[in-house]
Amino acid sequence: MKPGIHPAYGPVVFRDRAANYAFLTRSTMTSEKTIEWEDGNTYPVVDVEVSHVSHPFYTGTARVLDTAGRVERFERRYGRRGAN
């Protein structure tokens, strides 16, 4: 790798405020805010709105959209393609 062109890569805590969950990983993201982690060290903390703990897909609360009904409704309103 070329020196001096890559961002610093180090430990960062990502905190999901909605689910009150945090995890330590490595990233190039930085933050002015810090948090003392379970191991006693202080790391920069990045607040996120959604993580795997609060996202509907991972929690099993995702809604299935009625795409077939949407297509049929569109065809009723505007006609089928090529039906001229």
**pLDDT for the residue numbered 53:** 78
Q: For the whole model, what pTM was predicted? A: 0.63
d(CA 81, CA 84): 8
pLDDT digits (tens, 9 = 90+) for 20-65: 889 999 999 989 999 999 999 999 999 988 877 776 665 666 566 6
How far apart are the two ends of the chain, measured CA to CA in Å? 59
Q: Is the pLDDT of residue 5 over 60?
A: yes
Return the H-helix or E-strand segment holding 71.
Answer: helix 67-78
DSSP strand pairing (34-36 vs 21-27): unpaired
Q: Is the pLDDT of residue 84 over 60?
A: no
Average pLDDT, integer, range 3-28:
91
Tokens of 38: 């379970």
